[in-house]
Structure 1
Amino acid sequence: MYTASTAFLEALAEAGVDYLFCNFGSDHPAMIEALAEAARSGRRLPKVITCPNEMVALTAAQGHAQVSGKAQAVIVHVECGTQSLAGAVHNVSKGRVPVLIFAGASPFTQFGELPGSRNEFIQWIQDVHDQRGIVRGYMRYDAELRTGRNIKQMTWRALQFAQSDPKGPVYLMGAREVMEETLDPAAQAGLAVEDFAPIAPAALPQEAVHALLTDLAGARRPLIVTSYLGRNTQAVAELQRLVGPLGIGVIESVPNAVNLPHDDPMYLGCQWNEPRQNPHLAAADVVVVIDSDVPWIPTVSKPAPGAKIWHLDVDPLKQDMPLWSIPARRVFRVHAQTALAQLNAGLDRIGLDVARIGERRAHYVRAHEARKQALASAEAKPMGDRLTAEYVTACVRAHVDADTIILNEGITNYPVVVNHIAPTRAGQMLNSGGGNLGWTGGAAIGAKLADPAKTVIALTGDGSYMFSQPSTVHWMARHYDTPFLQVVFNNRGWRAPRYSMLAVHPQGEASRAADIGVAFDPPPDYAGIAAAAGGAYARQVRHPDEVEAAVAEALRVVKQDRRAAVLDVWLPHLMEG
């Protein structure tokens, strides 16, 4: 049989989708049959990865796409599975990650009128008014498949949206009767995925190239602020080519990727929620914001009133954010790599004051070196028996090489991980790009599937570890041979809500309370969960003298024994400090 499900799976394969991250249900008989038929006949279709939890399925697809740059597919069960995708939908949307989500739908016939008609009680209960509406606000495109005859066109159109800037998730649904429809394979043969190419990258107008270069060349303290330029690793090289010759400082605001290698002398650090003015931002007279959702938090840190601000972004309107603005006078929707290449190509056509550029380059080099020394002091081995996140992260960094990918979900330790891993290669560090916790577990599996030769290390808070569904994650890691190291920063609770409370009510009653409802102490056996679910190497680390040996042994297990490893690292309690 050649059914609509066969054509759908073929369409995904022809579009370059490698994996189906699946949580099958009663709506998928035709798809399961098509996969079995393909396995028997040798038809090439994407490989099925069984995901016992839907959120893990989507985080795994996200991790794969973040590393490979290619959209992957997630298959879930009707509206229940759609809702179980949970906050991972937020992450792929806010992180602008291309992924196709397909959900079946309850059959629309009940007396056997068509193949796939209702035959289970649950199919009346799962028939809801607006299944697509559950996720519509997060999707770049959503549609219902109503016939198999145009299913390849619908699939490729969805992927065209997913892979066109600003990229993101797309959602398709189809009832059992549609997915069971028998088709003529010959009628599908003339269709071409090339007819649904992603939209070409957008460039700066030539006038803007000259004007921006003129502003940068004439500035005393030019500064670039970015958050996710480095999602495209080729853009990082273009940024380096620009800032070195022109002596332009670079700061990251809430970085989602490696936007500039940290050993570049123009790199000045990152800022997250720290309640202080960034001195480089305050001193800048020309600020270029490139690919950033939150370039600064204006109540605590912002440019000087007279600074000239340019905004270059894949999504400058921030269409999904009801409240958003920065005081930029020149705003362009552009592809960062393309725009930076234009700027580099135009350097020869403007006059450069060598003395001015030399002075500001020397200024930024001094700031870079001072920051480097301060970080080295912060990550020194503690003298007592209390661990610090800085020291633990530095011990991990000692094992990071060109074949290592770091996944950062440190939450209140986000900046610690960024600063003390200090990545020196584009693509070396990633985070979810969104605000839903529990990304690292599934993302580590997806990253490993995308590039099996890489060593994947996930650094996560204890709260986000629990959100990640570790029993599902570590079963999958063993079953699909995707071992990785997971380091859990265990402070026995959610420190972020405490920090938020103190920022608003620093002298309030809660500031003096011993328990504000955010601790889980004593904590679960985090490493033991992974050992029970997936045979992971499990170890608890409580003393500075244990860290180096624990990290070394855990990575030996990952690389040589091909088992996942979890280090449960005890930091000071969240209510301390």
Structure 2
Amino acid sequence: MQSNYTTSMAFLEALQEAGVSYLFSNFGSDHPGILEALALAKQVGKKLPQVITCPHEMVALSAAHAYAQVSGKPQAVFVHVECGTQNLGAGLHNAWKGRVPVLIFAGSSPFTQEGELLGSRNEFIHWIQDVPDQRGIVRGYMKYDNEIRTGTNVKQLVHRALQIASSSPKGPVYLMGAREVMEEETSRVEIQTERWQPISAPAIAPNELSLLIQDLLQAKTPLVVTSYLGKNKDAVAELVKFCEALAIPVVESVPNYMNFPSTNPLHCGYQWNSPVQNDLIEEADFILVIDSDVPWIPLFNKPSEDCIVYYMDDDPLKEGMPLWYIPSKRFYKADAETALMQLNKEISILNIQHAGIEKRREKIKAYHAKQRAQWEQQEQFSDEVITAEYVTACIRELCDENTLIINEGISNYQSSYTHLKRSEPGSILGSGAGGLGWNGGAAVGAKLADPTKDVICITGDGSYMFSVPSSVHWLSRKYNAPFLTVIYNNRGWKSPKLSTLGVHPDGIANETNEFYVDFTPHANLSKVAEAAGGAYARKVENPEEVKEALEEAFAAVKSGRSAVLDIYLPSIQEETNMKAGNEHATV
């Protein structure tokens, strides 16, 4: 038995020192040093992060992603050389665009082949998996990447990587190390972790603060637009305080967190891809955009030319987006909570009270009430068809302040956020990006981060299949992380159809109804979870079964067993036929 102190042991110690709880791992032939160090630690009772064995890399990264969202603490993902790195796939995009801290470690093929060093090549795959630039695979999606070349400074590399990952704007980092290096005997290094903390939160410069407040107070129809301010739960309370002081309405644009309580009278709804002008954006004479990549889509929805826009974000230049611009009077690189605390302090000193604010408050309350009444109408039960709005309203009835929603509903994002009406900070999470298949691993990661939560995962049938459900539900059972999945099943990819119609509304694809998105023959999706993870599985096609099925499935989750409900909404073909019938009736 090898009992010496190696680079692998130092590496794992560094992760433990940094507060990493889990290694979401898919090990390979490049990890003998890591596996030996883990075995030794277990034998001698040494505490290291717990290994979560993940049969698919995308699931591993999605789980680490959501774990960090819930806990605020970055986790580690271990994958096998360049093959495992590439199998992380869309998860890399999600962590990068979603600003989620995670450390990814991949081995690399040994660099000796005749036994010169321990770990030298001894399998044919070591030649095949040797590529010119393994780090280059991920470089466009990482805040930092590096190679471990010696054990003498591996702890410094780990702490630097995690410091970068956890500093605003947060994001993933990547380290790789060859077998010989990870097997190398080395000397122990003691790290003072308090010297490797993330950078402090940026604030608004004092002279800029007064300019913003001056323009804000002169506005008659101010508005706040946000998308991911809720990534910091404490920022939500500051935003509520700010908006209530001056009666400022809030619109959530493409949200992936709960950013402002839906029940607050100043909350004025959600927007996604609908090709319509938002009336509040159009009427606003002052807009404060806080934490939003896409506050509006200028092609059909934007402020007036006279509107004053202030843009505040921890990444206000979007240097990772080659085409991006929102002409604004000022751009602030600022942490939302910190900046709002500054604004709230100044506003409290000014003690602003006048009739215009109260008149605006009453107007927005009426707008909010009318909007909610319309939403309630959309939720009505139909004995002929199951609608996304009705299903979402039924899910809402199951939820309380202890429920966490994982949302990858894609074409049903609008209805899910609208009708869930979430009001607790941290109560709903999206990936923050467009790499489909995040939902399943994310549900497991969220449950591991906070086992007290009841986790409900909302997904479409397409994104469910992308999520590698066989891996997800094996993982869920093995690590006692039960959750409820509700599949909004329209038997196809609705989003490509909607995109095509958005560009060619009267085109040949529409005329012939040929979009190549139909999932025929239809798979019995819930049975995948039953076979792989012993999940409660049920297909629901009758509207009258929806509530009862949800209650039964949720009870199974409460008892410790994952559940999957495959709920049949109108199929893409049925929607087309219904639309044609309505148009004919109108004529």
1:351 Cα offset (Å): 6.2
Residue type of the alignment partner of 2:140: G
1:37 aligned partner, one-letter code = L
Instruction: Give the aligned partner of residue 565 of structure 2.
Output: 567
Query: Is 1:37 aligned with 2:40?
Result: yes
1:500 aligns with 2:499: yes
What secondary structure, in the 3-state scheme, does the structure 2 residue paired with 1:346 have?
helix
Work out the CA distance in 2 between the residues paired with 1:330 and 1:142.
32
**In 2: Cα distance, 1:294 partner to 1:417 partner:** 19
The alignment status of 1:434 with 2:437, answered yes or no, reads no
Residue identity in the other structure for 2:222: P
**2:258 paired residue number:** 258
Deviations for 1:246-304, whole angstroms, at most 9, x for unmatched residues? 10010011001000010111100110000000000000000000000001100010001
**Matched position secondary structure for 1:375:** helix
CA distance in 1: counterparts of 2:310 and 2:562, whole angstroms: 45
1:129 lines up with 2:127 in the alignment: no
Matches within 5 A, 1:44-55: 44-55=47-58
The amino acid of 1:311's aligned partner reads Y
- 1:207-286 equivalence runs, <5 A: 207-286=207-286
Matching residue of 2:205: 205
Counterpart AA for 2:430: N
Are 1:175 and 2:175 counterparts?
no
CA shift digits 1:205-237 (9 cap, x unpaired): 112222222222221110001000000000000
Counterpart position of 1:160: 163
Once residues 209 and 249 of structure 1 are traced to their aligned partners in structure 2, the CA distance between those partners, rounded to angstroms, is 20
Counterpart secondary structure, 1:8? helix
Matched, 1:405 2:408: no
> Equivalents in 1 of 2:270, 2:495: separation in Å?
18
Moved over 6 A (4+): none
1:5-20 aligned within 5 A: 5-20=8-23
Structure 2 stretches lacking a partner, 5+ long? 580-587
The one-letter amino acid of 2:371's match is R
The CA distance in 2 between the partners of 1:351 and 1:478, in whole Å, is: 55
Q: Is the 8 A contact 1:56 1:441 kept in 2?
A: yes
Alignment of 1:182-201 (within 5 A): 182-185=185-188, 188-189=189-190, 191-201=191-201
Q: CA deviation at 1:145?
A: 0.5
Could you tell me how far 1:38 is from its partner in structure 2?
Answer: 0.6
| Equivalent position amino acid for 1:305 in 2 | E
The alpha-carbon deviation at position 193 of structure 1 amounts to 2.0
Q: Distance in 2 between matches of 1:208 and 1:547?
A: 53
How many residue pairs align between the two structures? 572
**Residue 113 (1) aligns with residue 111 (2):** no
Match of 2:378 in 1: 378
Contact 2:114 2:120 in 1 (8 A): yes
C-alpha displacement at 1:353, in angstroms?
Answer: 4.7
Q: Taking every aligned residue pair, what percent have the same amino acid on both sides?
A: 55
Q: Following TM superposition, by how much is the alpha carbon of 1:196 offset from its aligned partner in structure 2, in angstroms?
A: 1.4
Q: Which amino acid aligns with 2:448?
A: L
Measured against aligned partners, the alpha-carbon deviations of 1:59-101 in whole angstroms (never above 9, x if no partner) come to 0000100100100000000000000000000000000000000
Is contact 1:253–1:292 with CA below 8 Å preserved after alignment?
A: yes
Residues in 1 aligned to 2:500 and 2:423: alpha-carbon distance in whole angstroms: 35
Q: State how far apart, in whole Å, the 2-side matches of 1:197 and 1:65 are.
A: 16
Contact 2:392/2:416, CA 8 A, preserved across alignment: yes
Q: By how many angstroms is 1:184 displaced?
A: 2.4
Counterpart code for 1:396? I
Q: How far does residue 23 in structure 1 lie from its aligned partner after superposition?
A: 0.3
1:70-149 equivalence runs, <5 A = 70-149=73-152
Contact 2:496–2:515 (8 Å) recurs in 1: no
Q: CA deviation at 1:543?
A: 1.5
Q: Distance in 2 between matches of 1:513 and 1:6?
A: 62
- Asked whether the 8 Å contact 1:217–1:353 carries over to 2, the reply is no
Partner of 1:362: 362
Matching residue of 2:289: 289
The answer to whether the 8 Å contact 2:282/2:302 transfers is yes
Amino acid at match of 1:479: K
- Structural RMSD (CA): 0.9
Once the two structures are TM-superposed, the CA of residue 522 in structure 1 deviates from its matched residue by: 2.9
Q: Shift of the alpha carbon at 1:348?
A: 2.9
Match of 2:455 in 1: 456
Q: Render the CA deviation track for 1:4-39: whole Å, top value 9, x for unaligned.
A: 000000000100000000000000001000001111
Q: Which segment is superposed worse, 357-366 or 477-486? A: 357-366
Partners of 1:541 and 1:547 within 8 A in 2: yes
Establish whether residue 521 from structure 1 lines up as the match of residue 520 from structure 2. Answer: yes
Say if 1:492 and 1:522, in contact at 8 Å, map to a contact too: no
Greater mean alpha carbon deviation, residues 342-351 or residues 146-155:
342-351
Is 1:27 aligned to 2:26, yes or no? no
In the alignment, is the contact (CA less than 8 A) between 1:405 and 1:427 conserved in 2?
yes
In structure 2, distance between residues paired with 1:111 and 1:289 = 60
Cα distance in 1, alignment partners of residues 210 and 265 from structure 2 = 26
CA contact (8 A) 1:20 1:47 kept: yes
- Distance between the aligned counterparts of 1:484 and 1:490, measured in 2? 18
Distance 1:514 1:418 in 2: 29
| Partner SS state of residue 243, structure 2 | helix
CA contact (8 A) 1:5 1:180 kept: yes
Give the structure 2 partner of residue 486 of structure 1. 485
What TM-score comes out, normalization by structure 1 length?
Answer: 0.98
- Counterpart residue identity of residue 29, structure 2: S
Structure 1 unpaired stretches of 5+:
none
Distance 1:333 1:138 in 2: 21
Residue identity in the other structure for 1:389: A
* Structure 2 Cα separation of the partners of residues 247 and 348 of structure 1: 14
In the TM superposition, what are the counterparts of 1:381-392 in structure 2 within 5 Å?
381-382=381-382, 384-392=383-391
What is the alpha-carbon distance in structure 1 between the residues aligned to residue 301 and residue 75 of structure 2? 38
| Aligned equivalents of 2:353, 2:280: Cα separation in 1 | 21
Contact 1:223–1:284 (8 Å) recurs in 2: yes
Partner of 1:443: 442
Which stretch shifts more, 352-361 or 309-318? 352-361
Aligned mates of 2:282, 2:353 — CA distance in 1: 23
Asked if the contact 2:64/2:445 (under 8 Å) is kept, the reply is: yes
Alignment partner of 2:311: what SS? strand
CA distance in 1, matches of 2:375, 2:507: 33
* Distance in 1, Cα, partners of 2:216 & 2:40: 61
1:147-174 Cα deviation digits (max 9, x unpaired): 0100000000000110001100000000
Query: Residues 356-412 of structure 1, C-alpha deviation per residue, up to 9 Å, x if partnerless?
Result: 101111111111111110111100111x32100000010000010111100111111
Matched, 1:346 2:349: no
